[in-house]
């Protein structure tokens, strides 16, 4: 353990992750690492909570953030999240000569370039491997083990909440029920928007693309489709197609354009991406030289995220954290060439199939299969059409026309289908 002088560590936020970091540091007793400060609002209450039990009596507990950001510490661990006021706080910390380790995916997804520049100017480390996939070390693996490759494709399950919900829907439950289950289990927030509408996974995809493909993109440019419109019947149809449904984040680099999208997609059961159960995360990287590499594990939760944070902290202490990437800005499109799954809910009348196939033919999309499971009422009949590979925008144009048909009881559900070839 050469070259380690003592590093004084402060934790911002004493919630699930922050308290886990404190306990991992205490349990592991890494030489040269000393937890000195914990910041939280209403800190007196936190200090008396069960989570504080067993921590060293020497700790300074404070609700004065300046005591931490500009005080006698060397490294700040940020576990609070969000853009505001965290951006300002971490800027202040870097300017005050502190290293920063953060799990804040929104902040890094939107502001990485600026914060890294500031860190460089002050010769401090800013490390954020915990921001993606929690305890699955996909960013360090990419930075330190796949830089020699040219990674052109990423696909992954980056939101444990959606994976929990969709893998429960696979067992037959409806969306509203699994959302409630996820909320009761503490996996989903009262307002589940960030998870189910794909904003969380999208931020992580952008961070991952930056590390693996050296592209800087604005998360707002990546289309995110909600899982709210996926129903139990979609899993039945998916099964007939040898698939299941998962929230997938995927990106593909073609020249100077990144094709990127987040949303529920059909995934072949034979694909590694279908292996993840419950809240697990999974990432598949595809490189020109090394081919596919699969990473899987616990993507969230206090202890797994704490492992990522503490590993970052040790990397900073060892001086081995600095991989300076030549990141370039990159255009983003949501277009993919892929087969698509279309599920309609209709009042059944003669001629519907012909009208739908006509709308698809009109845009140049070919039908691959038509599925209609028995046992549904004629006045609210779900049935499915899958297309041969075609562009997202092509199928969207057809869906827009189809949605206007008077027999449609709700807007058609249109999901991209991953194939074994896309390894999603």
Bridge partners of residue 370, in order along the sequence = 385
User: Residue 190 corresponds to which tokens in the numbers above?
Assistant: 């009262």
Tell me how far apart the alpha carbons of residues 249 and 263 are, in angstroms, rounded to a whole number: 7
Q: Considering the complex, what minimum distance in angstroms separates the CB of residue 184 from a copy of itself?
A: 22
Residues in the chain: 424
Q: Considering the complex, what minimum distance in angstroms separates the CB of residue 199 from a copy of itself?
A: 25
CB nearer to a copy of itself: give 104 or 296: 296
DSSP 8-state secondary structure symbol assigned to residue 224: B
Collapsed DSSP state (helix, strand, coil) of residue 237: helix
Q: Considering the complex, what minimum distance in angstroms separates the CB of residue 308 from a copy of itself?
A: 7
Helix axes 199-213, 138-145, angle to 10 degrees: 20
Tell me how far apart the alpha carbons of residues 171 and 21 are, in angstroms, rounded to a whole number: 35
User: Residue 5 corresponds to which tokens in the numbers above?
Assistant: 């002088």
Tell me how far apart the alpha carbons of residues 382 and 364 are, in angstroms, rounded to a whole number: 24
Instruction: Give me the residues that bind a copy of itself (CB under 8 A), please.
Output: 1-2, 20, 24, 27-28, 31, 120, 129, 135-150, 272, 275, 287-298, 303-304, 306-315, 318-324, 326
User: Residue 97 corresponds to which tokens in the numbers above?
Assistant: 């000569």
Q: Torsion angle of alpha carbons 410, 274, 263, 370, nearest 10°? A: -40
- For 24, 28, 37, 38, 282, the CA distances from 63, given in Å and listed in that order, are 22, 26, 10, 8, 37
Annotated catalytic, 204?
yes
Determine which helix (DSSP H) or strand (DSSP E) holds 280, and give its type and residue range. strand 280-287
CB nearer to a copy of itself: give 53 or 289: 289
Q: Is the dihedral of CA 354, 360, 364, 369 positive or negative?
A: negative
Tell me how far apart the alpha carbons of residues 109 and 105 are, in angstroms, rounded to a whole number: 6
Q: Where are the alpha helices (DSSP H) in 48-130?
A: 65-69, 86-95, 105-121
Catalytic residue among 46, 98, 105, 204: 204
CB nearer to a copy of itself: give 137 or 264: 137
CB nearer to a copy of itself: give 142 or 387: 142
Catalytic residues: 204
């Amino acid at each position: 353990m050469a070259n380690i002088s003592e590093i004084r560590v402060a934790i911002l936020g004493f919630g699930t992750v922050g308290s886990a970091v404190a306990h991992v540091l205490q349990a592991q007793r890494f030489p040269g690492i000393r937890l000195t400060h914990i910041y939280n609002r209403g800190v007196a209450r936190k200090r008396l909570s069960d989570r504080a039990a067993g921590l060293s009596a020497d700790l300074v507990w404070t609700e004065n953030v300046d005591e931490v950001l500009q005080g006698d510490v060397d490294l700040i661990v940020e576990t609070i999240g969000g853009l505001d006021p965290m951006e300002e706080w971490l800027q202040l910390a870097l300017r005050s000569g502190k290293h920063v380790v953060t799990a804040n995916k929104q902040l890094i997804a939107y502001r990485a370039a600026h914060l890294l520049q500031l860190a460089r100017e002050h010769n401090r480390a800013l490390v954020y491997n915990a921001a993606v996939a929690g305890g699955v070390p996909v960013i360090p693996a990419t930075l330190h083990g796949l830089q020699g490759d040219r990674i052109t494709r990423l696909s992954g399950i980056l939101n444990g909440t959606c994976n929990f919900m969709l893998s429960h829907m696979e067992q037959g439950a409806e969306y509203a029920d699994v959302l409630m289950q996820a909320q009761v289990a503490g996996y989903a927030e009262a307002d589940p928007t960030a998870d189910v509408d794909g904003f969380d996974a999208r931020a992580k995809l952008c961070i991952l693309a930056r590390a693996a493909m050296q592209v800087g993109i604005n998360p707002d440019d990546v289309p995110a489709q909600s899982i709210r419109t996926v129903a139990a019947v979609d899993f039945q149809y998916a099964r007939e197609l040898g698939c299941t449904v998962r929230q997938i984040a995927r990106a593909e680099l073609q020249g100077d354009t990144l094709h990127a999208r987040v949303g529920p997609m059909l995934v072949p059961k034979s694909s590694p991406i279908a292996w993840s159960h419950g809240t697990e995360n999974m990432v598949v990287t595809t490189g020109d030289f090394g081919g596919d590499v699969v990473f899987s594990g616990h993507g969230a939760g206090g202890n797994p995220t704490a492992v990522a944070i503490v590993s970052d902290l040790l990397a900073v202490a060892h001086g081995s954290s600095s991989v300076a990437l030549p990141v370039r800005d990159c255009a983003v499109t949501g277009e993919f060439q892929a087969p698509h799954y279309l599920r309609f809910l209709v009042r059944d009348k003669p001629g519907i199939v012909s009208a739908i196939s006509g709308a698809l033919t009109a845009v140049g999309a070919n039908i691959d299969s038509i599925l209609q499971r028995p046992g549904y009422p004629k006045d609210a009949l779900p049935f499915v059409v899958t297309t041969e590979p075609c562009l997202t925008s092509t199928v969207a144009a057809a869906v827009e026309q189809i949605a206007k048909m008077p027999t449609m009881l709700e807007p058609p559900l249109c999901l991209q289908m991953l194939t074994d070839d896309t390894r999603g």
